[in-house]
Amino acid sequence: MTLLSRRALLAASAGVLAAPVSTQIANAQTVKPRLTAISQWSAGSDGAAITALGKKFEEHGGLWQHSPVPGFTTEMMNKLRAQILAGDPPACSQLKGPEIEAWSKIAPTVNLDAIVAAAGYEKVVAPDLARIHKPGGKWAAMPLQIYRTNTLFVSKRAMDRVKADKLPTNWAEFNALAEKMKAAGIAYPLANGGSRPDDGQKFEASLAGISPTAYRAAIMNLDEKALKGPEMRAAFVQLRKLADWMDPNTASQAYAVHLPQFVAGDMGMMIQGGWAQGVLLNAGFKLDDFIIGPGPSDNGKPVFLLNADAFIFWQRKEADLQAGQKLMAQLVMDPAIQTMYSQITGSIPVRTDVDLSGPGWSDGQREAAATLKAAVAANQSVLSLAHNMAQENGMTAAMIDVITEYVKNRAITPDQAVARLSEAVEGAR
C-alpha cells in the first residue's frame, strides 16, 4: 500500500512539473532552478536571442549562468570536452546534428521523454529533426530554431536589368536566368562566400534540388550505390555551373562581403541560409532590395534543407541544476518562447503549429515555414550536410574536402569528383 501511494505521489508531482509552462512552473519549484550553459553565441542576433531566453528563464524564477565561448563551434566543443574531462559538464550546452548522438555516448545525458510527452511536443516537430535529438530513442536535446540552407535570394535590381519577373523554381530555370544575367553584363550571377560551409551549401542545394531521394540515400544514409549514382554526377555538373558563376577572388571571405554588389545588381543571386536576411538588414539594406524564395527543386515539390541549433542536457546531481534543466526544456518547447527566439534571429520556429501571420515575422520567414510544412508532407525535408546536420563532423569534413577542392579547381571533372567523394566516405568511416 505504501509503495503504491508513494509511486502515486511521484507521478502526481511529475505531472505537476510537466504541466503547461505559463501556469504551473512558478508554483511547482521548491528549489531555485539554476542553469549553467555554454554556447558559441556571444554576439550578434544569436547572442541577443540567447540573452533574451536567459531573461525569460530568470523571469520564471531561475538563475541563468550562460558562458559563451568565443570562437566557432570547435572552440565551444573543446570547452565542453575540457569540462566533461574535469567531471564538471555544464547543465546544458549547444550541440547539434549527429554530434548529439556521438557526444551522448561520452557522458550521461538527461532523459527528457517525460517532459516532452507531457507537452505533446513530438507531434509538432519534423520527424527527421526529432530523431536527431533522441539518441538511443530517448529525448536528450532540445532544438531551438530552424534555418533553411537552400534559400534563394535574388537581387531586385538584377532582375530588373534582365527584365525577369519570376523566381526560378527548378535548376533549369535557375541556369537560364543566370545565363541571361551574364549576357546582360552581370559578371557574377551568383554571390558566394569562400568558406567550406559555403561550398558545401552549393553542393547540397544542387543535389537536393535534383533529387531529394538520392540526397537522403547518399548523403544522409551513405548508401554506396547512391554515392556513385547518376544524381551525384548531375549534382557535380550543376555545382560546376554554379562555380563558374561565382567571383573567383573571394578567397576565404564570408559571403557578406558581396552583399553591396548583390544589392546593387552587380551580382544576381545568392543561395544562402535564411540568416542572410538578418545580415542584409543589419548591413543597412532594405527588404525590397531583394526577393526570397525556396531553393530550386526539379520535381515540382518543395525541398527544404534543414539546419537546427539545439541544446543537449548533461546529467548533474545538483537539485537546482536539475530543476533548471526542466525549466529550460519547458521554456524551449513553449510556442511563445520559440516565437520570441526566431523573431530575434530570423529563423523559423521548431514547432510546426506556430502562427506566423503576426507583425514580428517577415515574408521570408513565413515562406520558409510554409515550405517546411509542405516539404515534410512530401518527405522532401532533408538535413544539411554543410552545417553538420546530416553526418558527424568527421564524415562531413571529409566530404566537404572533396567538394571545396572541386569548386576551387576546374580541372577536376564531375566523374572524378564522384569517385573522390565515395573514397572520402570510405576513408572516414
Partner 1 sequence: MFSRRGLIAVLVWLLAAAYLVPMVVVLLNSVRTAQEIAQGSMIGWPKFWAFSNYAVAWSGFCIAQTCKGIAPYVVNSAAITLPATLISTLLGAVAGYAVSLWRFRGDRWIFGLVTLGVFLPEQMRLIPWTIVLRDLGLSNTLAGLVMIHSVQGLSFTALFCRNYYLSIPQELMKAARIDGAGFFRIFWRIVLPLSPPILVVTVIWQFTGIWNEFLYGVTFTTGTQQPITAALIALATSVADVPQYGVQNAAVVLAALPTMLVYLFGGRYFVRGLTAGAVK
Partner 2 sequence: MSASLRAFTRRLPEFLVIWVPMLLSAGHVVVFTLWTTWVSFTPSTLMPTDGWVGLRNYTAVLGTRNWKIAFDNLLLFGFSFMLLTTLVGLALAILLDQRLRGENVLRAIFLYPLAVSFVVTGTVWSWLLNPGMGVQKLFNSLGWTDFRFDWLVNRDMAIWTVVIAAIWQASGFAMALFLAGLRSVDADLLKAAQIDGAGPLRTYTRVILPSLWPITVSVLVILLQFAIKTFDLVRALTEGGPGIATQLPALVVYDFMFQRGNLGRGSAAAVLMLLTLLAVLLPYAGWTYLQRRRAGA
Q: In this complex, which beta carbon is closest to partner 1, that of residue 57 or of residue 236?
A: 57
139 versus 275: smaller Cβ distance to partner 1: 275
Among 119, 306, 407, 418, binds partner 2 (CB under 8 A): 407
Please compute, for residue 172, the number of CA atoms within 13 A of its CA located in the half-sphere on the CB side: 3
Contact positions with partner 2 (CB under 8 A) in 83-112:
84-85, 99, 102-103, 106
From 366, 307, 295, select the one nearest 153 (Cα to Cα).
295
Closer residue to partner 1 (CB): 44 or 61: 44
Q: Write the binding mask 22 to 51 for partner 1: x where contact by CB under 8 A, - elsewhere.
A: ----------------x-xxxxxxxx--xx
The single residue among 2, 23, 249, 357 that binds partner 2, judged by CB under 8 A, is: 249
CB 335 within 8 A of CB 20: no
Per CB under 8 A, the segment of 214-222, 252-260, 287-295, 411-419 that binds partner 1 is: 252-260
Selected from 138, 156, 196, 241, the binder of partner 2 by CB under 8 A is: 196
Q: CB of 192 within 8 A of CB of 269?
A: no
Distance between CA atoms of residues 88 and 242, nearest Å: 47
- Which of 103, 139, 245, 275 touches partner 1 (CB under 8 A)? 275
Q: Which does 346 bind (CB under 5 to 8 A by kind): partner 2, partner 1, none?
A: partner 1
Rg, Å, the chain Cα set = 23
Q: Would you state the cell numbers that stand for residue 125, as one nine-digit string?
A: 516537430
User: Minimum distance from CB of 92 to partner 2 (Å)?
Assistant: 18
**Smallest gap, in angstroms, from Cβ of residue 348 to partner 1?**
13
Q: Hey, what's the cell of 157?
A: 535590381
Own/partner contacts of 79-82, CB < 8 Å, gap of 24 or more, are: 79/38, 80/38
3-state secondary structure of 142: strand
345 binds partner 1 (CB under 8 A): yes
The count of C-alpha atoms lying within 13 angstroms of the C-alpha of 79, restricted to the half-sphere facing its C-beta, is 19
Measured from the CB atom, the residue of 50 and 375 that comes closer to partner 1 is 50
416 binds partner 2 (CB under 8 A): no
The residue among 383 and 400 lying less far from partner 2, judged by its C-beta, is: 400
The C-alpha atoms of residue 86 and residue 81 are separated, in whole angstroms, by 8
Tell how far CA 255 is from the center of its chain.
17
Total residues in contact with partner 2, by rule CB under 8 A: 33
CB of 216 or CB of 387, closer to partner 1: 387
- Using the rule CB under 8 A, give the single segment among 24-32, 72-80, 330-338, 393-401 that binds partner 1: 72-80
Distance between CA atoms of residues 209 and 204, nearest Å: 8
By CB neighbour count within 10 A (0-12 exposed, 13-18 middle, 19+ buried), where does 249 fall?
Answer: exposed
The C-alpha torsion from 53 through 57 and 58 to 60, rounded to 10°, is: 140
Total Cβ atoms within 10 A of residue 28: 16
Residue nearer to partner 1 on the CB measure, 46 or 204: 46
Residues from 385 through 404 that contact partner 2 (CB under 8 A): 392-394, 397-398, 401, 404
CB of 94 to partner 2, least distance (A): 15
Our finding on whether 204 is near partner 1 (CB under 8 A) is no
363 contact, one of partner 1, partner 2, none, CB 5-8 Å limit per kind: none
Partner that binds at residue 113, options partner 2, partner 1, none, CB closer than 5 to 8 Å by kind: none
Near partner 2 in 31-90, by CB under 8 A? 74, 77-78, 81, 84-85
Secondary structure class of 64 (helix, strand, coil): strand
Pick one of 252, 284, 288, 300: the residue that binds partner 2 (CB under 8 A).
252
Per CB under 8 A, residues contacting partner 1 are: 38, 40-47, 50-51, 54, 66-72, 75, 78-79, 81-83, 85-88, 256-257, 259-260, 275, 278-279, 282-284, 345-346
Per CB under 8 A, residues contacting partner 2 are: 74, 77-78, 81, 84-85, 99, 102-103, 106, 194-196, 247-253, 392-394, 397-398, 401, 404-409, 427
